[in-house]
Amino acid sequence: MEISVRELRTVLNRVVSKHRDLQTDGFSMESCRAMVSLMDKDGSARLGLLEFQILWNKIRKWLGIFREFDLDKSGCMNSYEMRLALENGGFKLNNKLYQMLIARYADNEIIDFDNFTCCLVKLETMFRIFQGLDRDGTGTVEMNLMEVPNLVLSFYFTAWFWPSGLGPVSRSHVLYSD
Amino acid sequence: MVTSEKEEPVPGFVDSDSGSVSSLPVLCGSSSVSWFRFWSWFPPEAPAVCLLNMFLTRSLIGGIINVVSNIDPSKFKPSDPPPPRRPLNYGEAHENDEEKQFRKVFQQLAGDDMEVSPNELKDILNKVISRHSNLKTDGFSIESCRSMVAVMDSDSTGKLGFHEFKYLWNNIKKWQNIYLSHDKDRSGTIGARELPHAFQAAGFPLNDQLYKLIIRRYSDENGDMDFDNFIGCLVRLDAMCRAFKTLDKDNSGTIDLDIKEWLQLTMYS
């Protein structure tokens, strides 16, 4: 019993449509692919029951954060609310990164729920890949030019490129400088 | 085994009951006929060789052509970095006629905020490609345009200023030329066999395994890559390679990244 990217999308869109307080134009195939990719251990592009359950709990947690930091109850995040939400979601970044994320995921400086979720999925993926590569905890990873295409594909094929597994899910991802 | 999931970027409202999608209203700027004459990259049905010659003689400033010759397989050749930012006055005072025309059209496209948003980019790209029947495509998606804006958007405004836009536009033109000249069977798409040559011509000689994965990600079930996916892939690849090269100060081909640099490099895709 496995769920495909397309099926995940259907389920997610059905669920969020029931939450009238959330602004969203629907989850895209790309976001759902990134979600499956993050959870997918065997590279099958499908989620087994356990993987799906873990993902679902994540999304519920993010939904809670989204609601908590949607201070003006607009159904979406502005850049100030987004910063707070990211920090509370366990991602303590720096100004430049917050700005980049908002530029990337916002539509006219507003981030709706599906984009919020997509942002968190990708952030978590990238943090965990980094931690997985930095096994001895030096705080840096070495990268070769030939590995750049892997990065371009990484949200699609996470398990494929990083077969030694992603780093553990720590409770928070903190940038210690800046 | 990884199943091949067909990618269909679908912007719009998903009707939760029927699952049908209605598209977002398209923001149409005014489009006069002269726009298209200027914007049209090549006469739609011109033969490939002729197109190549035309492009070589008509490149805009800022676009550098990568001529395919003795590419060292171990080295990528992303596009040159954008020219240094100059004060607006300088730029305008030193433009030739073609650039002045381009700037006028940009102003029309960008609207009041003088920057091109992902939606505006999507509109102009889709308008232009609709006139080129030799480019098969289901249209540029909003996600893809957001990604393209993001990788070009050096000041993180979420939109493209004039130079950022011009730079992107020149790259797209360059890659369109490669697409056309490598579509040997005139299918309007780049097939699995045509892809390696096309990517090499674009300055990205990869290996078989990577081509396979790229095809899985960007091509349809027949292994054919349409135009918007071709461009989307190259924009990301080019931007990441350029970012890498900027960080690789001693040009060793290897860089050390801390988490900040890692996130900056990866979060755009």
pLDDT in tens, chain B (269 residues): 443 444 433 233 333 334 444 332 222 233 333 333 333 443 333 344 433 433 433 332 222 222 222 234 455 677 776 666 555 555 556 667 777 888 888 888 888 888 999 999 999 999 989 888 899 999 999 888 988 998 888 777 889 999 899 999 999 999 999 999 999 999 999 999 999 999 999 999 998 988 998 998 899 989 999 999 999 999 999 988 888 888 899 999 999 999 988 888 887 66
- Provide the number of structural domains found in chain B: 1
Residue with tokens 């700027």: B29
Which of the 8 DSSP states describes residue B112? G
The verdict on a CB contact (< 8 Å) between A103 and B260 is: no
**Residue B106 DSSP symbol:** H
B73 touches A at CB < 8 Å: no
Is residue B53 assigned to a domain? Answer: no
Domain residue spans of chain A: 5-133
Query: For A131-175, what is each residue's pLDDT tens digit?
Result: 888 888 899 999 888 888 888 887 777 766 666 656 665 545 555
Domain extent at residue B178: 96-268
B175's tokens: 């890659």
**Closest-approach residue (CA) in chain B for A139:** B258
- Other CB atoms within a 10 A radius of the CB of residue B185 amount to 9
Classify the C-alpha dihedral B100-B105-B106-B107 as positive or negative: positive
pLDDT at A57: 93
- ipTM of the modeled complex: 0.86
Beta carbons of A79 and A70 less than 8 angstroms apart: no
Taking CA–CA distances from A4, the nearest residue in chain B reads: B5
Q: What is the CATH number of the domain that holds B105?
A: 1.10.238.10
pLDDT of res. B109: 83
Q: What is the mean pLDDT of residues A24-28?
A: 91
CA A173, distance to chain mean position in Å, is 13
Nearby residues of A147 by Cβ (< 8 Å), 6 or more positions away? none
- At B37 the pLDDT is 38
CB contact under 8 A, B269 and A10: no
Tokens of B48: 């490939």
Query: B10 in a domain, yes or no?
Result: no
* Rounded alpha-carbon distances, angstroms, from residue A73 to A21, A67, A109, B32, B68: 8, 8, 16, 42, 55
**Superfamily for domain range A5-133:** EF-hand (1.10.238.10)
Q: Is B26 on the interface with A (CB under 8 A)?
A: no
On the question of pLDDT at A22 being above 70, the answer is: yes
Among B141, B214, B257, the residue with its CB nearest the CB of A143 is B257
Instruction: Check: CB of residue B209 under 8 Å from CB of residue B99.
Output: no
What is the rounded radius of gyration, in angstroms, for the C-alpha atoms of chain A? Answer: 16
User: pLDDT value at position B42?
Assistant: 34
Q: Characterize the bridge pairing of strands A140-144 and B254-258.
A: antiparallel
Contact B262 A126 (CB under 8 A): yes
For residue B59, being part of any structural domain is answered with no
Q: Which structure tokens are listed for A131?
A: 């931690």
For residue B146, tell me if it sits in a domain.
yes
Tens digits of residue pLDDT in A91-142? 888 888 998 898 888 888 899 999 999 999 989 888 888 888 888 889 999 9
Among B233, B242, B184, residue whose Cα is nearest residue B210: B233
Is B190 part of a structural domain of the chain?
Answer: yes
Rounded to whole angstroms, the Cα distance separating B106 from B102 reads 6
Distance from CA of A119 to the nearest CA of B (A): 9
Q: What is the pLDDT of residues A41-59, one digit of tens each?
A: 777 788 999 989 999 999 9
Pair B160, B149: CB distance under 8 Å: yes
Distance from CA of B93 to the nearest CA of A (A): 31
Q: Which residues pair with B257 in a beta bridge?
A: A141
- What angle, 0 to 180 degrees and rounded to 10, lies between the N-to-C axes of helices A79-88 and A49-69? 130
> A126, B266: Cβ pair inside 8 Å?
yes
- Is there a domain that residue B90 lies in? no
Q: For residue B170, with 0-12 CB atoms within 10 Å meaning exposed, 13-18 middle and 19 or more buried, which class applies?
A: buried
Structure-token match 């705080």, residue found: A139
Is the CB of residue A22 less than 8 Å from the CB of residue A16? yes
Chain A residues with CB inside 8 Å of B257's CB?
140-143
| Rounded Cα–Cα distance for residues B79 and B62 (Å) | 10
| Residue B230 per-residue DSSP state | H
Angle among Cα B236, B238, B242 to the nearest 5 degrees reads 120
> What is the widest separation between alpha-carbon atoms in chain A?
47
